[in-house]
Chain A
């Protein structure tokens, strides 16, 4: 049973209490974006076998959307974080690197995590 901790209400919720929302940090382009960009936003997915960042909603709890870093191969959870962020926290990155030494984040290092 997959268990994630909701970063808003702090509840350790099992997966039946949660709704998955697919890949996180997708950026919508436009108006004026190309057909290719819109297609990529809607359909093209990294579908990573390894460290995966994804959206979840605490559907039968506080109802809020949050983000999780989970390993799609080992099912290890590296951490959960709030939705209003551009990328995962340093602590989650450290957890992931400990399990997968070869993994490197695909966002610029030192960039600000909090947006909005």
Chain B
């Protein structure tokens, strides 16, 4: 009998039979002709949407189709930061829902996502940021999200390697969320995919959407490189290529796609056990379990679909971080990569019905999607199942741009978040 459930007993059993009994974590079936729900995009958000459709709403006739490989887009390209210290109430609600789900996700999925609530600090390096983050702490208190303002001396205790007296970017304090942290990004996608597969859903990789057929304003069929797939409901959860999918369905989105970069250093001994974000200089850093310093940079400011980004952004990010973290100046960088992020006008996501009946869209997470995956999936599943948004998604409809109801996080979060 293969070992399906992961546990210490399963490891012991497999150790006695040369680990010959592990089965594949998820199946790779051929697509059927029709599903009740088709989700485009097998990244974290798409897979989480499928998972909560099954778990919360009992809908398991679901296919998640993916043009590349599972979690190979932004889910595998981010810096794995998780936090919920947002200024606006709708943001705090959905991101804190996500954080709470992350806290028990390994147990819920029976898959170790290596959630590490090591704490997260956003540095205030200008007087403007000091005022902004103090305001965020007050807002978070009202929202029930535990954050605190820390003075430089306490910050130095939390992050001994930091230089708080930099001449250009002195550290004036920080916004500290002790519950924030990181998780292993691949494991989040893999864990959800395994749970979806166990519920009988189809996760279909190497299946690119080539067209969307509608009739009488209602979605009918998704055409893919692996055939036509009929569906009652279609969820587009594709981040950087949301505009392209929307165009196939005949509508436009308030989205622009830009590259966002990250890089990791050679592995070093443990030196920093919190996540530090420096939004003034568009840099953020944490240390991975392997010892690499994971560094995130800023976005390019013009549209592009090349998953690499501009060289000068790396220089700017690293140059600024070296003043705050002098010890990284001698580190060699191992890898650098980019992902295509979907930016909205107010830097908040879109979870919305669309002009086409049966099509729902989840996009616009921009530079901060990873932390939202469970909450986004939860809210999106509710939207798809009921055909109208629940309390978490209600404020994130795309009609907010017409009505001027922005959820403006661009000031609160800086560019990188």
Report chain A residues within 8 Å CB of B303: 23, 47-48, 52, 54, 72
Which of B241, B312, B402 has the largest count of A CB atoms less than 10 A from its CB? B402
The answer to whether B345 and A40 touch across the interface, beta carbons within 8 angstroms, is no
18 contacts between A and B (CB under 8 A): A1-B311, A1-B312, A16-B312, A20-B301, A22-B302, A23-B256, A36-B402, A43-B345, A45-B243, A45-B255, A46-B243, A47-B257, A48-B303, A49-B305, A52-B303, A72-B304, A73-B305, A73-B306
Which 6 residue pairs of A and B lie closest in terms of their CB atoms, listed nearest first? A43-B254, A47-B243, A20-B302, A39-B402, A44-B252, A43-B401
Partner of B252, one of A19, A45, A54: A45
> In this assembly, does B412 line the interface, its C-beta being within 8 Å of a C-beta of chain A?
no
Q: Tell me whether A44 and B312 are in contact in the complex, defined as CB-CB below 8 angstroms, given that A20-B302, A35-B402, A72-B303 are known contacts.
A: no
The contact string, 1 if C-beta is below 8 Å from chain B, for chain A 1-35, is 11000000000000110011011000000000001
> In this assembly, does A94 line the interface, its C-beta being within 8 Å of a C-beta of chain B?
no
> In this assembly, does A75 line the interface, its C-beta being within 8 Å of a C-beta of chain B?
yes
Using CB atoms, name the residue of chain B closest to A14. Answer: B312
> In this assembly, does B141 line the interface, its C-beta being within 8 Å of a C-beta of chain A?
no
> In this assembly, does A99 line the interface, its C-beta being within 8 Å of a C-beta of chain B?
no
The answer to whether B252 and A49 touch across the interface, beta carbons within 8 angstroms, is no
Partner of B302, one of A44, A48, A54: A54
- Complex CA distance for A97 and B107, rounded to whole angstroms: 54
Using CB atoms, name the residue of chain B closest to A75. Answer: B306
> In this assembly, does A42 line the interface, its C-beta being within 8 Å of a C-beta of chain B?
yes
Q: Tell me whether A44 and B253 are in contact in the complex, defined as CB-CB below 8 angstroms, given that A1-B312, A39-B402, A49-B241 are known contacts.
A: yes
> In this assembly, does B310 line the interface, its C-beta being within 8 Å of a C-beta of chain A?
yes
B315 to chain A, nearest CB (A): 9
A76 to chain B, nearest CB (A): 11
Report chain B residues within 8 Å CB of A52: 303
The answer to whether A45 and B306 touch across the interface, beta carbons within 8 angstroms, is no
> In this assembly, does B28 line the interface, its C-beta being within 8 Å of a C-beta of chain A?
no
Report chain B residues within 8 Å CB of A20: 301-302
- Complex CA distance for A72 and B305, rounded to whole angstroms: 6
Enumerate A34-84 residues with CB–CB distance to B below 8 Å: 35-36, 39-40, 42-49, 52, 54, 72-75
Q: Which B residues are within 8 Å of any A CB, using their own CB?
A: 241, 243-244, 252-257, 301-306, 310-312, 344-345, 401-403
Report chain B residues within 8 Å CB of A54: 302-303
Using CB atoms, name the residue of chain A closest to B311. Answer: A1
Report chain B residues within 8 Å CB of A43: 254, 344-345, 401
- Complex CA distance for A89 and B352, rounded to whole angstroms: 39
Report chain A residues within 8 Å CB of B244: 47, 49
The answer to whether A42 and B401 touch across the interface, beta carbons within 8 angstroms, is yes
Report chain A residues within 8 Å CB of B257: 47, 49, 72
- Complex CA distance for A16 and B314, rounded to whole angstroms: 13
Report chain A residues within 8 Å CB of B310: 1-2, 15
Partner of A22, one of B253, B256, B306: B256
Report chain A residues within 8 Å CB of B253: 44, 47
- With contacts A22-B256, A23-B256, A72-B306 known, what are 6 further pairs, Cβ within 8 A? A1-B311, A45-B243, A47-B303, A48-B303, A73-B305, A75-B304
Report chain B residues within 8 Å CB of A46: 243, 252
B307 to chain A, nearest CB (A): 11
Q: Tell me whether A39 and B306 are in contact in the complex, defined as CB-CB below 8 angstroms, given that A1-B311, A45-B255, A49-B241 are known contacts.
A: no
A22 to chain B, nearest CB (A): 7
- Complex CA distance for A47 and B311, rounded to whole angstroms: 22
Report chain A residues within 8 Å CB of B302: 2, 20, 22, 54
Partner of A47, one of B255, B401, B402, B403: B255
Using CB atoms, name the residue of chain B closest to A34. Answer: B402
B332 to chain A, nearest CB (A): 22
Report chain B residues within 8 Å CB of A45: 243, 252, 254-256
Which of A40, A44, A75 has the largest count of B CB atoms less than 10 A from its CB? A44
Which of A19, A48, A54 has the largest count of B CB atoms less than 10 A from its CB? A48
Report chain A residues within 8 Å CB of B254: 39, 43-45
B207 to chain A, nearest CB (A): 19
Report chain B residues within 8 Å CB of A40: 252
Report chain A residues within 8 Å CB of B301: 19-20
- Complex CA distance for A19 and B300, rounded to whole angstroms: 11
Using CB atoms, name the residue of chain B closest to A68. Answer: B302
- Complex CA distance for A39 and B310, rounded to whole angstroms: 30
Report chain B residues within 8 Å CB of A73: 304-306
Report chain B residues within 8 Å CB of A48: 243, 303
- Complex CA distance for A44 and B398, rounded to whole angstroms: 11
The answer to whether B305 and A42 touch across the interface, beta carbons within 8 angstroms, is no
B342 to chain A, nearest CB (A): 8
Report chain B residues within 8 Å CB of A42: 345, 401
